[in-house]
Amino acid sequence: MSDLLLAILPVFLLAGLVKGVIGLGLPTVAMGLLGALMPPAEAAALLIVPSAVTNIWQMLAGGRLIALGRRLWPMLAGICLGTWAGSGLLARDPTGHAATALGAALIVYALAGLAAPRLHLGPRTEAWAGLPIGALTGLITAATGVFVIPAVPFLQAIGLEKEELVQALGLSFTISTAALALGLARDGVFGFDIAGASLIALAPALAGMWLGQWIRLRVSAQTFRRCFFLGLTALGGYLVLRGVL
């Protein structure tokens, strides 16, 4: 366990730093790096506490939580249903397909971030699209431990203001983390030992967030974001190649 902690502490420091600079990316970076060191199910379990605490913090920062909950409840319900429907995909994966799927998800997310497409969904489309978007996000969460696709592009496309978007991301990620934690606990992955390690990982994650916020005030976030997505593309490609070779 001591060797494991030495390996994961810098991972969560880096992941927290990324979240502090661009507002998201902690589970994505952590899953990508830890997926190269351990089974994806264990990596997903390790990120539960740092992800939950940082996302609750982000979710509560602002005065629009109730209004956002009313607006986004179909997507949030879909996330829960999709995650629970796919529960066990990470835990029962002796072939390593989950790591390959994780790599593919990272590449898709990174390429979408680099392209920065200007999508827009009207109220009518938003009303019916929320549930299937959430369900698909939940299934991808259950299979890979990454809960940004396609929820993040959807939230970016429905016309939220900047601060509303940040709070909506925190709300979406909090629900995804809770649903994933319940699924992993049911599958016997998120036990006391891994929960303790996850709690220890909270400290470097918070330190990384603080450092990232400090950096965000001094460098171009757009430049850092571009480097971040390029790095994720390379990391995802490595995981895919490792899984198919």
Torsion sign, CA atoms 154, 160, 161, 163: negative
CB burial readout 62-94, b (16+ within 10 A) else e = eeeeeebeebbebbbbbbbbbbbebbbbbbebe
Q: Three-state SS for 73? A: helix
CB 212 within 8 A of CB 18: yes
Structure tokens at 198: 């996850």
Distance of CA 69 to the CA centre of its chain: 19
Which pTM does this prediction carry?
Answer: 0.83
Q: What is the pLDDT of residues 146-182, one digit of tens each?
A: 888 889 889 988 988 877 888 998 899 999 999 999 9
How is residue 228 written in tokens?
A: 């971040």
What SS3 state is found at 24?
Answer: coil
* CA-based torsion, 226, 65, 80, 40: positive or negative: positive
Q: Tokens 């450092």 sit at which residue?
A: 211
Helix, strand or coil, per DSSP, at residue 163: helix
Q: How far is CA 15 from CA 37, 51, 105, in A?
A: 15, 10, 17
Angle of the 97-115 helix axis to the 123-144 helix axis, nearest 10: 140
Residue 42 to residues 118, 193, 196, 199, 223: CA-CA distances in angstroms? Answer: 36, 11, 13, 14, 32
Tens of each residue's pLDDT in the chain, 245 residues: 556 677 788 999 998 888 887 777 788 788 878 877 788 788 888 899 999 998 898 898 778 899 999 999 999 999 999 999 888 777 776 556 777 777 888 888 888 888 866 678 888 889 899 999 999 999 988 888 888 888 988 998 898 887 788 899 889 999 999 999 998 888 888 878 788 888 989 999 999 988 988 887 787 767 777 877 887 888 788 778 877 76
Which amino acid does the sequence have at 29?
Answer: V
The identity of residue 114, as a single letter, is: L
Instruction: Please state, in angstroms and rounded to a whole number, the distance separating the CA atoms of residues 160 and 212.
Output: 24
CA-based nearest residue to 28, from 39, 41, 12, 42? 12
Instruction: Delimit the domains of the chain by residue range.
Output: 2-244
pLDDT of residue 93: 66
Closest C-alpha to 12, from 29, 23, 1: 29
Place of tokens 């593309």: 233
What does DSSP assign to residue 83?
H
